[in-house]
Chain A
Amino acid sequence: MEYLLRNIDSPNSAEITEYEKAGGYEGLKKALKIDPKDLIELVKKSGLRGRGGAGFPTGMKWMFASADPKFPKYLVCNADEGEPGTFKDRPILEKNPHLLIEGMAISAHALKSEKGYIYLRGEYPYAKTVLEKAIAQAYKRGYLGADILGSGIKFDLSVHQGAGAYICGEETALIDSIEGRRGQPRIKPPFPVSVGLFGKPTIVNNVETLSNLPFIVEVGAEAYSKIGNPECPGNKLFCISGHVAKPGVYELPMGTTLRDIIYGHAGGIKNGKALKAVIPGGISTPVFPPDKLDCPMDFVSVPKFGSMLGSGAVIVFDETTCLVRVTWRALKFFEHESCGKCTPCREGTGWLRTVLERIENGQGRPGDVELLEDISKNIAGKTLCPLGDGAASVVMNFIKHFRGEFEGHLKGGCTFNAPEFRQA
């Protein structure tokens, strides 16, 4: 059963009346009658894990933030959605904004937070319009503001628009960016739950995470914890792109296998071609060769198969794809998005891109594949935030599974056809 994308096919799904008709804001009404402590306990028991990439248990994060005696506390929704291949939060932001607002109001009550921000990526201007309209509607109906539904509970919410920096999806860089600074990750500890936005305890959660709250309150922790994999339950939004027949966003239980996602839901490989490789969780996660399709897609299983669930962005490549070119483009991205704070990441991503570029262009030198591995090893584990690790592991894993293709390029360059114009 869908509860995140419920109703989004209706043309007025973003309207508050439409949302209320479908049972919207009932979760908030119920939650306002629950003591904040019990609400946090409920989220802990539900087993909800953060959908922003790392899969951190949400109830635990909330407990840390709530245990800190400092006030005010800030609630920040991470709507930066920058991981290439990811477009799962977008349908919520553009078509179901009240689900997120309701989720944030519930969370704010649990955390005793009176001020929230939605950090929205600059690339989603339409979502900004939709969100701001939805927030205004929610204020009018008393779901936000100084006295929510007469409960005496206060919560103000506004949108903060980013301006095109992937690193601002990292929570401490995001906090810097709201504060009006360059978005560069901070050294942890202290963690945002104790010293975050404006120096105060701050809870950063992803759009999809917060959008789970109304449903959890509605059905209860026990029913929720039985959906999907009991170790990390609930539905997950998977966004599939690349060479599949039916790319798009699918809401499926955690633990659905990669095979089922690609062949059962996304219609299999386009034009009857053979599958060559899959990135399971966004460009920063290690690539899978075709023999890993039985991997259940959830935060506990994917690591056992050698990768990460990340943002749930599945990118599929058919047999015609040059994976050296894919790796090069990925590194061009990391080089561009490195914030410049840590030397191994700032310099290393550029070196990796340069070496990959010459290999792809037929100017590779003997030993270049080993050189790529060497540079990667010197980035991994030596940076403040996981961006550098991501870049290094992309290169290491493409080489690990497709070494022959890299070495083949050293003898005469790329033999794949360049991608053609899309046919209508």
Chain B
Amino acid sequence: MSFFSDKALKELDEIKKRYPTRRAAALPALYVAQKEFGWLSPEAIDAVARHLTLPPAVVKGTATFYSMYKHRQVGRHLIQVCTNVSCMIFGAENLLGLLEEKYGVTPGGTSPDGRFSLVIMECIGACDKAPAMLVDEDFHSDLTRNGIINILESYK
């Protein structure tokens, strides 16, 4: 019995072909599980472990090392704001206050309406257009006070 949808199972089969060991499929399989379950819940970890026939503790141990997996339930959209040096000197930290004011979301948390979760990022490779953020999988840069709100308003 499997906890994955047929589509996910097909994806997992493709992934496993790329590696000579089962364990090497863990990182990509965790991404698949995250998509299926919404976050890396204990069930999601378990599903990956069973699928790759690895002990759940091994899978969990690997997963928790990496900060970009969703280790908690998150809102509909994930805002990832870079505050590293090149962004900091262009006021990235001010953006955090603005987001709290406007949406009631603080770093590590989710807005009360479940719309946005917020995390602080290290450099995301857009330093020439600082400050920068990722919303879900989209890059946004040159963020100004009004600009960031206009962008976020398009994420419902």
Contact = CB atoms under 8 A, between A and B. Distances in A.
B24 A422 contact: no
A180 B123 contact: no
A189 interface: no
Interface string A76-87: 000001111111
Interface stretch (B1-9, B85-93, B102-110): B85-93
Contact of B31 (A158, A161, A198, A423): A161
- In which size bucket is the chain A interface? 35 or more
A86 B21 contact: no
Contact of A329 (B68, B88, B137, B142): B88
B41 interface: no
Interface stretch (A9-17, A33-41, A144-152, A239-247): A239-247
A243 B137 CA distance: 28
Contacts of B21: 179-180, 198
B125 to A, nearest CB: 4
A419 B84 CA distance: 13
Interface in A318-334: 321, 325-326, 329-330, 333
Contacts of A333: 84, 122-123
A316 to B, nearest CB: 9
Nearest to A93: B125
Contact of A241 (B68, B69, B95, B127): B127
B23 A158 contact: no
Nearest to B126: A87
A122 B123 CA distance: 12
B143 A422 contact: yes
Contact of B125 (A124, A161, A198, A424): A124
A242 B89 contact: yes
B111 interface: no
B27 A177 contact: yes
B79 to A, nearest CB: 14
B86 A84 contact: yes
B147 A419 contact: no
Contacts of A138: none
B68 A326 contact: no
A419 B27 contact: no
Given A420-B91, A421-B145, A86 B62 contact: no
Interface of A: 81-87, 90, 121-126, 158, 160-166, 177-183, 198, 239-243, 247-249, 283, 313, 315, 317, 321, 325-326, 329-330, 333, 336-337, 339, 418-424
Closest 5 CB pairs of A and B: A164-B68, A180-B26, A163-B66, A241-B127, A247-B128
9 contacts: A84-B122, A86-B125, A122-B66, A124-B125, A126-B139, A158-B18, A198-B20, A420-B94, A423-B144
